[in-house]
């Protein structure tokens, strides 16, 4: 496999497009020739491990069976041998701490010895557990610094892989990261719990319909949006470098009004980059399939084939890393921030989510028989009910300083959590609940209760609604409000927990009903409970334009919350019902929940703090000096014109420019000072929640007013004098 992959890259054209033979047959560049070659997956395991060891990994991944230290030792040996043949010298536990993307600490396989040249070693113990010096990772107070140790523990359900950067190859072992007292300090640990939890709950509910179902998996396909800018421009924008977004900048005349970028032809330079990072991703087993331009200029998207949720989350984290690293080789910078440019669409990460049984049935795909329809409706309605009951929690799961610029900023998607299901399914639910007009056909079920018929061809039937935060798209729900730089685990922990919890409640209610009403058929009981849910949770179903001000009013009437900022959104994590939900179901302890929320508040503050500081600097050291330089030129010009006898009226326009420049400089100077004062006042507040609120309400408003004055100056000042690359330069990568 490796040799053909090498040929593949050697055959790449400069633009990175696949090489074709004259007869138009794709040869070595076939992705299937090198897909997964840098992953210690089943194929590579077979070559380096015994059958028993392969089975142990498979069992651990599929049914969570633990691996004995003896087998772990054998697996470590095999993994090491494989990694050495691939050119690795080091290994690392690879984990996802609560702030930042992924973390690594490389250790060498090599062990020197006194007698000879030393040996390459990797023990089972080193594979299974490590103790990174973790004191600098956020723990929200769980780990006091004197008890700084945390440990990482191997997750055998996500295969080890080889990361190559700058020609250096490192064996990476996906792990969870926990404190010594057992609290999770990362994204993965709770995700594994939430997934196991919903798998069981869904499997139990499936027994009503098919007793052959023994297990379920959670499927997740993450569409990733991103911007690309030229490195040269990026390096001249301290705001992009330090805060990930432009804090200043006039929106260009040709922004996205024409919407001609969407699905348009991909610029050559971008295509070359895409092909390169895709190849790297494919070697890492990330099943990328789609690439295209997005709505905004300079914005693009890629999407993989869906996978098991834990793997999909790992792959998305890894993908972001790969994208950033490959961009450097193309003199590009990838911007994963939710809103890098004002007035231009932001970026999200659409989480396509479903539940699939071990018998291969997608529970959110309507089948062609009434029995299957009832099963579909069960999972469909329970998901909507869960979202209705825990909308605030779902909102909290995606709350970050960056995402605030999308949610609640009159942009896709809105901060109001609603569910889009399309007109057809709205009719289906109306008829099912007995309130419809029979627009969806009713079919006689085998148990002679009427079950609404859901057409199988739903996939082609669901209309699209780009403004919805949570949309049903034919055979899956798509959580579209997740931020583009986020770790998807945060939203997936919440979604899987609330739906799992709802499924447990549903089953208890159906069983109770059956117990109390002897002789009632199971289908009837299922239907009865589902219909009882519909009354309430239909309030969250919305098919209209989510950006409109009418929706804000309508949502209020419906009693749906519109939470537009992070500090307020995060409160949901600490509500009684949230604590109860997570603690009861074993996803988070109360302490973990508090610690995590604290970290989220702190992250929010940190972001705003950085933005505030960068803004101060930009204004003082870049914008004001440039404005003064230009103003001086104009003033000197006025003086020289007047000195040669020109009339005052002939220099009127120039005097106006000089006056306006002074006005905006004064405005900037005073706003800058006020913001600094507000920041120092805020920093004195001990409680993170309160501090975050003050940052949101007192500090952040200055960002807008400062930007306003600066953008006015950008319009006034000579282009050649302006120190920062402008939107027009940055947005059109060529
Ligand atoms: P779009 O939403 O752009 O029309 P697709 O239908 O290709 O795109 O789906 C987007 C993502 O949804 C892909 O990652 C795809 O693999 C994933 N997806 C498709 N079916 C499922 C499913 N049953 N469960 C989870 N994800 C799915
Ligand atoms: Mg989609």
Task: Using the mean position of ligand 2's atoms as its centre, give its distance from the Cα of residue 400 in Å.
Answer: 22
What is the topology classification, in CATH, of domain 603-730?
Answer: 1.20.120
Task: Using the mean position of ligand 2's atoms as its centre, give its distance from the Cα of residue 418 in Å.
Answer: 17
Residue written as token pair 């950067």: 165
Q: Which is higher by pLDDT, 148 or 520?
A: 520
| Ligand 1 proximity of 270 Cβ (cutoff 6 Å) | no
Q: How confident is the model at residue 585 (pLDDT cuts 50, 70, 90)?
A: very high
Asked if 390 and 498 touch (Cβ cutoff 8 Å), the reply is yes
Cα 56 to Cα 218: distance, rounded to the nearest angstrom: 22
| Ligand 1 proximity of 33 Cβ (cutoff 6 Å) | no
Q: Residue 434 has which token pair?
A: 């007995």
Cα 66 to Cα 59: distance, rounded to the nearest angstrom: 8
- Three-state SS across 514-529? HHHCCCCCHHHHHHHH
In terms of C-beta density within 10 A (0-12 exposed, 13-18 middle, 19 or more buried), how is residue 113 classed? exposed
What is the topology classification, in CATH, of domain 35-186?
Answer: Ubiquitin-like (UB roll) (3.10.20)
Task: Using the mean position of ligand 1's atoms as its centre, give its distance from the Cα of residue 335 in Å.
Answer: 23
Question: Which helix (H) or strand (E) element contains residue 107?
Answer: strand 103-108
Q: Which is higher by pLDDT, 517 or 112?
A: 517
Ligand nearest to the CA of 353: 1
Q: Which of 306, 471, 479 for mutating ligand 1's site (highest number of atoms within 8 Å of CB)?
A: 306
Closest-CA residue to 250 (of 624, 574, 685, 725): 725
Residues of the chain with CATH 3.10.20.70: 35-186
Region 48-55: mean pLDDT is 96
High-pLDDT (> 70) share of the chain, %: 87
DSSP letters for 160-225: -EEEEETTEEEEEEEEEEEETTS-B-BSHHHHHHHHHHHHHHHHHHHTTT-TT---EEEEEEEEEE
Q: Which of 263, 302, 473, 476 for mutating ligand 1's site (highest number of atoms within 8 Å of CB)?
A: 476
Say what the alpha-carbon torsion angle 563, 564, 565, 570 is, to the nearest 10 degrees. 20
| Ligand 1 proximity of 480 Cβ (cutoff 6 Å) | no
Closest-CA residue to 106 (of 163, 154, 44, 28): 163
Quote the pLDDT of residue 149: 67
Overall pTM surpassing 0.85 (yes/no): yes
| Ligand 1 proximity of 219 Cβ (cutoff 6 Å) | yes
| Ligand 1 proximity of 477 Cβ (cutoff 6 Å) | no
Of all protein residues, the one whose alpha carbon is nearest to atom 2 of ligand 1 is: 473
| Atom of ligand 1 lying closest to residue 220 CA | 25
pLDDT single digits (tens) 191-227: 999 999 999 999 999 999 999 999 999 999 999 999 9
| Ligand 1 proximity of 305 Cβ (cutoff 6 Å) | yes
Q: How confident is the model at residue 626 (pLDDT cuts 50, 70, 90)?
A: very high
Give the pairing type, strands 119-120 and 90-95.
Answer: unpaired
Task: Using the mean position of ligand 2's atoms as its centre, give its distance from the Cα of residue 350 in Å.
Answer: 6
| Atom of ligand 1 lying closest to residue 475 CA | 23
Of all protein residues, the one whose alpha carbon is nearest to atom 19 of ligand 1 is: 306
Task: Using the mean position of ligand 1's atoms as its centre, give its distance from the Cα of residue 386 in Å.
Answer: 21
- Classify 553 as helix, strand or coil: helix
DSSP letters for 652-667: HHHHHHHHHHHHHHHH
| Ligand 1 proximity of 352 Cβ (cutoff 6 Å) | yes
Quote the pLDDT of residue 678: 97
Of all protein residues, the one whose alpha carbon is nearest to atom 11 of ligand 1 is: 221
Q: Which residues pair with 62 in a beta bridge?
A: none
Quote the pLDDT of residue 46: 96
| Ligand 1 proximity of 129 Cβ (cutoff 6 Å) | no
| Ligand 1 proximity of 496 Cβ (cutoff 6 Å) | no
Region 350-361: mean pLDDT is 97
| Ligand 1 proximity of 475 Cβ (cutoff 6 Å) | yes
Using the Cα atoms of residue 679, residue 681, residue 685 and residue 691 in order, give the sign of their dihedral. Answer: negative
Of all protein residues, the one whose alpha carbon is nearest to atom 17 of ligand 1 is: 221
Task: Using the mean position of ligand 1's atoms as its centre, give its distance from the Cα of residue 668 in Å.
Answer: 47
Asked if 494 and 395 touch (Cβ cutoff 8 Å), the reply is no
Cα 461 to Cα 530: distance, rounded to the nearest angstrom: 23
pLDDT single digits (tens) 448-477: 456 666 666 555 555 567 789 999 998 999
- Classify 264 as helix, strand or coil: coil
Question: Which helix (H) or strand (E) element contains residue 291?
Answer: strand 288-293
Cα 516 to Cα 707: distance, rounded to the nearest angstrom: 65
Closest-CA residue to 458 (of 365, 378, 357, 361): 365
For residue 277, the tally of other CB atoms under 10 A from its CB is 24
Say what the alpha-carbon torsion angle 307, 308, 312, 313 is, to the nearest 10 degrees. 160
| Ligand 1 proximity of 306 Cβ (cutoff 6 Å) | yes
Q: Is 60 exceeded by the pLDDT of residue 8?
A: no
Pick from 209-218, 402-411, 532-541: least confident: 402-411
Task: Using the mean position of ligand 1's atoms as its centre, give its distance from the Cα of residue 612 in Å.
Answer: 39
Region 108-128: mean pLDDT is 83
**Omega prior to 413 cis, within 30 of 0:** yes
Residues of the chain with CATH 1.20.120.1560: 603-730
Q: Residue 402 has which token pair?
A: 């960056």
| Ligand 1 proximity of 473 Cβ (cutoff 6 Å) | yes
Of all protein residues, the one whose alpha carbon is nearest to atom 14 of ligand 1 is: 221
Contacts (Cβ under 8 Å, ≥6 apart) of 202:
216, 355, 363, 379, 500, 503
- Classify 92 as helix, strand or coil: strand
Quote the pLDDT of residue 462: 54
What is the overall mean pLDDT for the chain? 89
Task: Using the mean position of ligand 2's atoms as its centre, give its distance from the Cα of residue 59 in Å.
Answer: 32
Of all protein residues, the one whose alpha carbon is nearest to atom 6 of ligand 1 is: 473
At 445, phi and psi to the nearest 5?
A: -80, 165
pLDDT single digits (tens) 220-273: 999 999 999 999 999 999 999 999 999 999 987 665 554 556 566 888 999 999
Q: Is 50 exceeded by the pLDDT of residue 627?
A: yes
Quote the pLDDT of residue 427: 87
Beta strands in 297-448 (DSSP E): 299-304, 307-308, 332-335, 349-357, 419-420, 442-444
| Ligand 1 proximity of 287 Cβ (cutoff 6 Å) | no
Q: Which of 292, 303, 319, 364 for mutating ligand 1's site (highest number of atoms within 8 Å of CB)?
A: 303
Residue 303 region by backbone torsions, left for phi larger than 0, else alpha for psi between -120 and 50, else beta: beta
High-pLDDT (> 90) share of the chain, %: 71
| Atom of ligand 1 lying closest to residue 352 CA | 26
Give the pairing type, strands 299-304 and 216-230.
Answer: antiparallel
| Atom of ligand 1 lying closest to residue 303 CA | 14
């Amino acid at each position: 496999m490796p040799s053909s992959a090498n040929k593949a890259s050697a055959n790449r054209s400069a633009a990175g497009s696949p090489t074709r033979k004259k007869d138009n047959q794709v040869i070595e560049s076939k992705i299937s020739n090198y897909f997964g070659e840098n992953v210690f997956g089943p194929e590579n395991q077979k070559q380096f491990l015994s059958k028993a060891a392969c089975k142990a990994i498979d069992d651990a991944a599929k049914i969570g069976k633990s691996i004995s230290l003896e087998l772990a030792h054998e697996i470590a040996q095999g993994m090491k041998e494989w990694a050495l043949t691939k050119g690795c010298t080091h290994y690392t536990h690879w984990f996802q701490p609560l702030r930042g993307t992924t973390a690594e600490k490389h250790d060498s396989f090599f062990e020197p010895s006194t007698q000879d040249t030393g040996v390459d070693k990797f023990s089972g113990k080193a594979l299974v557990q490590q103790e990174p010096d973790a004191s600098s990772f956020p723990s929200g107070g769980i780990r006091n610094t004197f008890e700084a140790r945390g440990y990482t523990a191997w997750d055998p359900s996500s295969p080890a892989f080889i990361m190559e950067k700058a020609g250096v190859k490192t064996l990476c072992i996906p792990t969870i990261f926990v404190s010594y007292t057992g609290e999770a300090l990362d994204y993965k640990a709770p995700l594994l719990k939430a997934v196991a939890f919903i798998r069981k709950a869904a499997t139990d509910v499936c027994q009503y319909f098919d007793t052959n179902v023994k297990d379920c998996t959670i499927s997740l396909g993450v569409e990733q949006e991103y911007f690309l800018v030229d490195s040269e421009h990026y390096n001249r924008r301290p705001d992009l470098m330090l805060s990930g977004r432009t804090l200043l900048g006039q929106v260009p005349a040709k922004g996205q009004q024409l919407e001609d970028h969407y699905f348009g032809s991909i610029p050559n330079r971008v295509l070359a980059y895409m092909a390169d990072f895709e190849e790297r991703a494919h070697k890492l087993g990330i099943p990328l399939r789609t690439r295209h331009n997005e709505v905004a200029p300079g914005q693009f998207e890629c999407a993989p084939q869906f996978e098991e949720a834990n793997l999909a989350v790992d792959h998305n984290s890894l993908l972001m890393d790969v994208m950033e690293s490959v961009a450097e080789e193309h003199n590009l910078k990838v911007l994963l921030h939710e809103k890098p440019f004002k007035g231009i669409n932001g970026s999200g990460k659409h989480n396509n989510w479903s539940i699939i049984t071990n018998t291969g049935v997608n529970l959110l795909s309507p089948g062609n028989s009434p029995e299957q329809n009832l099963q579909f409706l069960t999972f469909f309605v329970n998901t909507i009910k869960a979202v209705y009951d825990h909308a605030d929690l779902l909102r909290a799961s995606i709350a970050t300083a960056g995402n605030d610029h999308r949610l609640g900023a009159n942009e896709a998607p809105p901060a109001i959590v609603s569910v889009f299901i399309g007109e057809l399914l709205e009719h289906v639910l109306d008829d099912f609940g007995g309130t419809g007009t029979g627009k969806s056909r009713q079919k006689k079920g085998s148990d002679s209760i009427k079950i609404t018929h859901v057409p199988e061809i739903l996939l082609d039937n669901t209309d699209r609604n780009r403004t919805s935060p949570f949309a049903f798209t034919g055979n899956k729900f798509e959580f579209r409000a997740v931020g583009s730089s986020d770790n998807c685990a945060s939203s997936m922990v919440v979604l899987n927990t609330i739906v799992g919890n709802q499924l447990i409640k549903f089953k208890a209610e159906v069983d109770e009903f059956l117990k109390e009403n002897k002789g009632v058929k199971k289908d009837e009981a299922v239907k009865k409970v589902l219909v009882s849910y519909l009354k309430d949770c239909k309030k969250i179903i919305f098919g209209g334009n989510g950006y409109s001000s009418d929706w804000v009013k309508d949502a209020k009437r419906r009693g749906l919350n519109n939470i537009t900022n992070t500090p307020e959104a995060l409160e949901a994590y600490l509500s009684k019902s949230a604590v109860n939900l997570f603690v009861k179901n074993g996803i988070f302890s109360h302490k973990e929940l508090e610690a995590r929320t604290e970290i989220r508040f702190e992250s929010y503050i940190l972001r705003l703090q950085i933005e505030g500081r960068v803004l101060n600097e930009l204004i003082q050291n870049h914008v004001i000096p440039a404005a003064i330089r230009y103003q001086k030129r104009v003033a000197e010009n006025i003086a020289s014109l007047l000195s040669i006898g020109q009339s005052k009226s002939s220099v009127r326009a120039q005097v106006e420019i000089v006056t306006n420049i002074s006005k905006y400089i004064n405005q900037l100077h005073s706003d800058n000072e006020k913001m600094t004062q507000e920041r120092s006042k805020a920093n004195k507040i001990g409680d993170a929640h309160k501090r975050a609120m003050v940052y949101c309400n007192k500090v952040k408003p200055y960002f807008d007013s400062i930007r306003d004055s600066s953008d006015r100056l950008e319009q006034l000042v000579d282009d050649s004098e302006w120190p920062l690359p402008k939107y027009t330069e940055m947005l059109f990568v060529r």
